Chains A and B, each alone.
Chain A
Amino acid sequence: MLTRRLIPCLDVRDGRVVKGVRFRDHVDMGDIIDLAMRYRDDGADEIVFYDITASPEGRSVDRSWVERVARLVDIPFCVAGGIRSVDDARSILHAGADKVSVNTPALERPALISELAGAFGTQCVVVGIDSLQDDDGEWRVRQYTGDPARTRALARRTLDWIDEAQSRGAGEIVLNCMGSDGVRSGYDLEQLTAARAHCAVPLIASGGAGEAAHFIDAFRYSDVDGALAASAFHSGELRIPFLKRQLRDAGIEVRLD
């Protein structure tokens, strides 16, 4: 039986892992290889590297670190951040990444999703969605979420965008529920369950994880295929081997030897 995936997300700037509020107050957390290998050894099922150097000025960045990661890390990994074209994606995939994830550039130009799927296959194409509930109760997509000053609400309904992204060739959806992001009070189960009903491809929960029960709930109630978390893992409060044992005890299939 296919197991549920646990996915740590690392923010990368200039080939180093950093943490902090995006675009300010960055604290250096160490070398990308050291941290990636620690998660690999802990039993992470996949790793997402979020390249925060890339997006703000739209400049091309040195991604030689992708190849360094690919040489040593023997679990799948995805690169997100600043991928605006088939050429951008090709350089990352050829360097050894298994998938690329697009967010803002796909909102600006949805055809990007179909171009990537056509060039590399849908299995390589992840669409990340930042979503927040508005006062009228509707979930809508947010854009430029990396920079609080520029974050913009779009008229686009989140569930419509999930439909469109799939029809254009998204092979996986990462739904970042901004209302719960960073709060560590649990994933947004209501939103994830609604998204699940629209999602025939794998759905990854993001935003709000803080303890084992949150992961159990997301898998059990929202039937997500994977759960992504950053601070919950990085802080050391929630170790993956412990979390996986809790999940297995709760009857959720995980990779645990």
Chain B
Amino acid sequence: MDVVLIDSGGANIGSVRYALERLGANARLSADAATIMAAERVILPGVGAAAVGMARLHELGLVDVVRSLRQPLLGICLGMQLLFDTSDEGETTCLGLLPGRVARLVGDARLRVPHMGWNRLERVRCDPLQAGVADGAFAYFVHGYAAPVTADTLAASTHGAAFSALVRRGNVMGAQFHPERSAAVGARLLENFLAVRA
């Protein structure tokens, strides 16, 4: 299986590539439109801020490329947030592949933001993308902004309020958590992503 990771400049791209390699996939890093369009699977990773992530995609001329993909596409963490219409983080216009507005998590004395650590995936809808992942399974999160629970939500998680942890609309999928750092649960999710049909 040929997987292309969009080189969006994040520092942690290596760990996503290693996770795919552990599953026997051939994962390459690319910012080239033709390479991305020809890939069997595309992953939009991303650690950082929404405005910087979108600016980088614009600079590389990849905004319309990502919007036009028909093969399975998986956004991870910030990469998932960029799939939505807009983000409150820097008042950013995102890719608009999924309806909704990404908002800042609200903390309080007992609720730390960013949301960092292991939390439960609460199943909202059945989908082959989460086959073999038990309702209530734990995944590793690190984020300060989150997408709302919408019709595209497959699994939610709760930090104060509920937010989208795993989403899918056709070929467009996203994980707010880090599958590459979520032990067996994350590996299963990536394995499912390599197997799903667009």
Interface residues of A (CB under 8 A from B): 1-5, 40, 45, 67, 70-72, 74-76, 90, 93-96, 98, 120-124, 171-172, 200-202, 223, 225-226, 255, 257
Contacts and interface: CB of A to CB of B under 8 A. Distances in A.
Contacts, number: 94
B140 A75 contact: yes
Contacts of B99: none
A2 B159 contact: yes
Contacts of A75: 140, 181-183
B118 A200 contact: no
A120 B11 CA distance: 7
For A67, A121, A172, the residue with the greatest tally of chain B CB atoms inside 10 Å of its CB is: A121
A124 B47 CA distance: 10
Contacts of B114: 122-123, 171, 201
A45 B181 contact: no
Given A71-B18, A93-B12, 18 more contacts: A1-B119, A2-B112, A3-B117, A5-B117, A72-B22, A74-B19, A74-B180, A74-B184, A75-B140, A76-B142, A76-B181, A93-B11, A96-B12, A122-B114, A123-B142, A200-B107, A202-B116, A257-B137
Contact of B11 (A4, A90, A200, A202): A90
B112 A74 contact: no
A226 B118 CA distance: 11
Interface string B168-198: 0000000000101111101100000000000
Contacts of B30: none
Contacts of A1: 119-120, 158
Given A3-B117, A121-B49, A70 B14 contact: yes
Size category of the B interface is 35 or more
A98 B12 contact: yes
Main secondary structure of the interface of B (DSSP, over half): mixed
9 contacts: A1-B120, A2-B116, A3-B138, A74-B22, A96-B18, A98-B15, A171-B114, A172-B116, A257-B134
Contacts of A95: 14
A120 to B, nearest CB: 5
10 A-B pairs with the lowest CB-CB distances in the bound complex, closest first: A255-B118, A93-B11, A255-B138, A96-B14, A71-B18, A3-B118, A76-B181, A96-B15, A123-B142, A2-B119
Given A70-B14, A200-B107, A98 B181 contact: yes
A131 B118 CA distance: 28
Contacts of B186: 74
Contacts of A70: 14-15, 18
Interface in B1-56: 11-12, 14-15, 18-19, 21-22, 47-49
A123 B47 contact: yes
Interface string B49-67: 1000000000000000000
Contacts of A122: 114
